[in-house]
Amino acid sequence: QKEVEQNSGPLSVPEGAIASLNCTYSDRGSQSFFWYRQYSGKSPELIMFIYSNGDKEDGRFTAQLNKASQYVSLLIRDSQPSDSATYLCAVRKGGYSTLTFGKGTMLLVSP
């Protein structure tokens, strides 16, 4: 079982729709959770982080965390073609420990 799993996609949504990206993790010691966006050929860009169960909203983005189910999701409302990218889920156990990434989900938003 991989530590962080994501559906590789592509996930295709029309412009203006809600895109839902999902991530599961195996280590119950994971304490913090991150979503990065990565455009082709570029480096990952931090867009959201969440530490507590529940929802966290930032503009068009909402991160959801359910530690009991070991599940993290990212919702993107009013999706735009510029949101087309690979979205990486990453988890961290805490302290100065490092990030463990999933393989990423490719999102395609069509005009």
Partner 1 sequence: ETGVTQSPTHLIKTRGQQVTLRCSSQSGHNTVSWYQQALGQGPQFIFQYYREEENGRGNFPPRFSGLQFPNYSSELNVNALELDDSALYLCASSLGSGEAFFGQGTRLTVV
- Cα gap 77→65, rounded to integer Å: 17
Residue 93 burial by CB count (10 A; 0-12/13-18/19+): exposed, middle or buried? Answer: middle
Per the structure block, which two tokens stand in for 29? 């010691």
Site string for partner 1, 11-40 (x = CB under 8 A): -----------------------x-x----
Q: Which of 68, 82, 98, 111 binds partner 1 (CB under 8 A)?
A: 98
Q: Which stretch binds partner 1 (CB under 8 A): 9-17, 63-71, 72-80, 84-92?
A: 84-92
- Cα gap 84→47, rounded to integer Å: 14
Residues that bind partner 1 (CB under 8 A): 4, 34, 36, 42-46, 49, 88, 90, 92, 94-104
